[in-house]
Amino acid sequence: MLWVDKYRPKTLDQVIVHQDIAQNLKKLVTEQDCPHLLFYGPPGSGKKTLIMALLRQVFGPGAEKVKVENKTWKIDAGSRNIDLELTTLSSANHVELSPSDAGFQDRYVVREVIKEMAKNRPIDTKGKRGFKVLVLNEVDKLSREAQHSLRRTMEKYSASCRLILCCNSSSKVTEAIRSRCLNIRINSPTEEQIVKVLEFIAKKEGLQLPSGFATRLAEKSNRSLRRAILSFETCRVQQYPFKDNQAIPAMDWEEFVFEIASDIMQEQSPKRLFQVRGKLYELLLNCVPPVVVLKRLLYELLKRLDAEIKHEVCHWAAYYEHKMRRGNKAIFHLEAFVAKFMSIYKGFLVATFG
């Protein structure tokens, strides 16, 4: 079993990083009725872990007795019938799903799922809470329509159903939903905290972890605890005992984005743009989300740019990121960004060096 999973805290008491939040949550569910919750924070900060621990707190060990299934919903959308299939994780008391997987039909999922949950109020409460919990992942990816339909049902069925929403950025969740939830911001763990966790794991695994190496792992992880633990283990597979200056392998796709960035910086021409298009396609084919590609690409490019044009490049990256979310064919927007960058950069080079 991977260490990330092996040493994941199972209860709110075991939590190392966000102890204060964990304690607050514990108080919240033990002392009073649980409101709708919205967890948001960068990836690898522990949102899911907290949610699972919270569910366990509320429903007891049964909450982890989940089954995975591909549910099909037959939805009558006026003129036509839609078949939707989604992967859900469910226990007796909660259902977890990522409605954004349904693409632009997510609103139907949201509506149907919540309705269904409202229909089946838990019969056998055994002294437990008389409500079910619906965990929705990636709420920020939900379409606007879905968020609107969510808003209404949240109120209507609040007696029987609690929502736990989970997303990276609360800015993409509509105001209406945010105001109906208790917003819980989960910060990225600090590097010290990460080092602490890494040392904890090393101790449990019986490994010698040089402190310099641990610090470097924490630095490289971009304050994502998951990344830190994963690359920690990768290093373990690669080489043990650890050395202080041991190379920390980058993710495969990050390496590739790095290459693309160097390509772009080297030459700005239609030919190069064409090659870059091929490489971008490759990233997308390997299921790397386009938004992530764009972000990473910007990150790599910014590292090498003159301060003068950084601002402009950032502006265009944001512009195309927005368009990418509104559009469908991600490659068009990625390519447009690269073309725009090439144009800006070439113009800059010519203006500066003639």
Partner 1 sequence: MPQDIRKWFLKPHSKDKDNATIPANTALSNLETTNSEPGCGGHESMGRRKTSKYFATDKQKPEDGGEKEELPAKRKAEKDDGKSVRSSPLKKFHKADDDDDDFVPPSVKKNSVGATPSKKLKSGSGRAVAQKSVDIDDDEEEDVKKTESPLKSSGRGRGGRGASGAPAVGRGRGGGRGGFMNFGERKDPPHKGEKEVPEGAPDCLAGLTFVISGTLDSLEREEAEDLIKRHGGRVTESVPKKTNYLLCDEDIGGAKSTKAKELGTPFLTEDGLFDMIRASKPMKALAQAESKKSVEKVAASLPKKSPQNIEAKSTSAPKAPSERMKTVASPAKRKGQNIQQSLLTWTEKYRPKTPNEIVGNQQLVKQLHAWLAHWNEKFLDTGTKRNGKKQNDASAEKAALLSGSPGMGKTTAAKLVCQMLGFQAIEVNASDSRGKADAKISKGIGGSNANSIKELVSNEALSANMDRSKHPKTVLIMDEVDGMSAGDRGGIADLIASIKISKIPIICICNDRYSQKLKSLVNYCSDLRFRKPRKQEIAKRLMQIANAEGLEVNEIALEELADRVNGDIRMAINQLQYMSLSMSVIKYDDIRQRLLSSAKDEDISPFTAVDKLFGFNGGKLRMDERIDLSMSDPDLVPLLIQENYINYRPSSAGRDEVKRLSLIARAAESISDGDIFNVQIRRNQQWQLSQSSSLASCIIPAALMHGQRETLEQGERNFNRFGGWLGKNSTMGKNLRLLEDLHFHHLASRKSKLGRDTLRLDYFSLLLKQLTEPLRVLPKDAAVKKVVEFMNAYSISQEDFDSIVELSKFQGHANPLEGIPPAVKSALTRAYNAQSKSRMVQAADLVPLPGMKKAPKKRIAAMLEPPDDGIGEENGDNLAENEEENSSDTEGPDATNGEKLQSELQSLNSSGIEVQLELKGAGNSSAKRKPAGRGKGGSASAEKKSGRGSGTAAKRKR
* Comparison of 1 and 307: residue with beta carbon closer to partner 1: 1
User: Does position 1 bind partner 1 by CB under 8 A?
Assistant: yes
Structure-block tokens of residue 125: 């409460």
Options 18-26, 189-197, 199-207, 223-231: segment touching partner 1 (CB under 8 A): 223-231
Name the residue type at position 318.
Answer: A
The CA-CA-CA angle for residues 172, 18, 49, to 5°, reads 65
User: Does position 167 bind partner 1 by CB under 8 A?
Assistant: no
Structure-block tokens of residue 280: 């971008």
User: Does position 74 bind partner 1 by CB under 8 A?
Assistant: yes
> Minimum Å distance from CB 231 to partner 1?
8
User: Does position 350 bind partner 1 by CB under 8 A?
Assistant: yes
User: Does position 2 bind partner 1 by CB under 8 A?
Assistant: yes
> Minimum Å distance from CB 275 to partner 1?
8
User: Does position 111 bind partner 1 by CB under 8 A?
Assistant: no
* Comparison of 180 and 216: residue with beta carbon closer to partner 1: 216
Q: Pairing between strand 37-40 and 80-90?
A: unpaired
Q: What is the 3-state secondary structure (H, E, C) of 203-258?
A: HHHCCCCCHHHHHHHHHHCCCCHHHHHHHHHHHHHHCCCCCCCCCCCCCHHHHHHH
> Minimum Å distance from CB 49 to partner 1?
9
Please give the residues from 127 up to 166 whose contact with partner 1 meets the rule CB under 8 A: 137-138
Please, are residues 41 and 60 in contact by the beta-carbon 8 Å criterion? no
User: Does position 90 bind partner 1 by CB under 8 A?
Assistant: yes
* Comparison of 177 and 335: residue with beta carbon closer to partner 1: 335
User: Does position 48 bind partner 1 by CB under 8 A?
Assistant: yes
Q: Which long-range contacts (CB under 8 A, 24 or more apart) does 276-283 make?
A: 276/335, 276/338, 277/331, 277/335, 277/338, 280/331, 280/334, 280/335, 280/338, 281/331, 282/256, 283/253, 283/256, 283/257
> Minimum Å distance from CB 2 to partner 1?
7
Q: Pairing between strand 182-185 and 37-40?
A: parallel
Q: Which of 133, 288, 298, 317 binds partner 1 (CB under 8 A)?
A: 288
Give the dihedral of Cα atoms 232, 235, 239, 240; nearest 10 deg: 0
User: Does position 282 bind partner 1 by CB under 8 A?
Assistant: yes
> Minimum Å distance from CB 340 to partner 1?
4
> Minimum Å distance from CB 184 to partner 1?
18
Please give the residues from 240 up to 279 whose contact with partner 1 meets the rule CB under 8 A: 249, 251-253, 255-256, 259, 268-271, 273-274, 277-279
> Minimum Å distance from CB 179 to partner 1?
26
